[in-house]
Amino acid sequence: MNTTSSRSLLGTALLLLPFTTFILRAEGIPATAPSPATSPAKPVPTPYEHTAPTNPALPPPDADIWKQTWHDMNRPYPPVSTPLPEEELAARSKAPSNAIVLFDGKDLSAWQPSKWVVKDGYVEVTPNSGNLMTKQAIGSMKLHVEWWTPEPLTGQDGQKRNNSGILFMDPKDGFEIQVLDSYNNKTYADGIAGAVYGQYPPTSNPIRPPGHWQYYDITFHHPKFDAKGNLTKAAHVTVDFNGVRVQDDTTIIGSTHGPARRAYKAMPDAMPLGLQDHHDRVRFRNIWYVPIED
């Protein structure tokens, strides 16, 4: 094609452009396709779901967890169980002498700078301000934390009913024990309070109604990796929820964060602990931990 005919074609195209745009708009079709760079990522299950792993650090290929679908609304709900009386929980929740206190109701000096608010002995999420992260990197630990959710507003259901979480080993690639008002609240079983989020529902549901303090005692063992970044020991967790054991040395199968199940990503032996900002005004108090053997 010579230069003259190229110019002629270009000129015709430029002349037709406004007309083409008009037709596309008239059809209700956007004249400009969204840029791939700004399009939100679609939540699609990863191949990791239903994958029978060969890594002996993970549950065997015939384990039930590999047959479960992420966020399956038909997955059976755990039965309701009875929490211990609040006086008993309060009496057993005092920090022992070897504990490292992360929040005693007064200040957030153990935490990275944030906009979360300390008031009347608790700290409250400031919605959309980001997770609250410890200054200190922590590895395996026995953690105590108490949390509280307000009365839900009309229409505040499912995962939107005062959601937060305890974030172990990094909010990007780590592991969440769910915090949610799961009192008479229907959502997927692997997303209710006491769940290893997206993996294991709690074995029972001992939650109190909103407006009461809820007690978590969590024994967490961090994952281990070899020099090449291969998983050699999975993270595992035991959760006592209001005095009822709801996770018993549960083997975590990978990162709980993101829009699908994810495999492990290599990480250090200790990382900051986080409390999740899921845009709801959830409160926390009496937070302490005791370091434990891996």
The residue ranges that bind Mg ion (CB under 5 A) are: 163, 165, 276, 278
H helix or E strand, kind and range, residue 145? strand 141-148
Report, in Å, the least distance between residue 236 CB and Mg ion: 20
Report, in Å, the least distance between residue 116 CB and Mg ion: 16
**Separation between Cα atoms, residue 214 and residue 242, nearest integer Å:** 6
Cα-Cα-Cα-Cα dihedral sign, residues 260, 158, 166, 200: negative
Report, in Å, the least distance between residue 165 CB and Mg ion: 3
Report, in Å, the least distance between residue 78 CB and Mg ion: 17
Residue found under tokens 């845009």: 279
Give, in order, the Cα–Cα distances in Å from 203 to each of 189, 194, 213, 234, 287: 10, 9, 20, 20, 24
**Separation between Cα atoms, residue 185 and residue 206, nearest integer Å:** 13
Nearer to Mg ion, 140 or 276 (CB): 276
Nearer to Mg ion, 122 or 197 (CB): 197
Nearer to Mg ion, 58 or 213 (CB): 213
- Give the DSSP per-residue string, 159-202: GGSSEEEEEES-TTTSEEEEEE--TT--S-GGGSTTSBTTTB--
Cβ neighbours of 213 (radius 10 Å): 19
Nearer to Mg ion, 166 or 234 (CB): 166
Nearer to Mg ion, 59 or 254 (CB): 254
Nearer to Mg ion, 187 or 276 (CB): 276
Helices (H), the chain: 3-26, 86-91
Report, in Å, the least distance between residue 164 CB and Mg ion: 6
Report, in Å, the least distance between residue 205 CB and Mg ion: 16
Residue found under tokens 């990094």: 170
- Closest-by-Cβ residue to Mg ion is 165
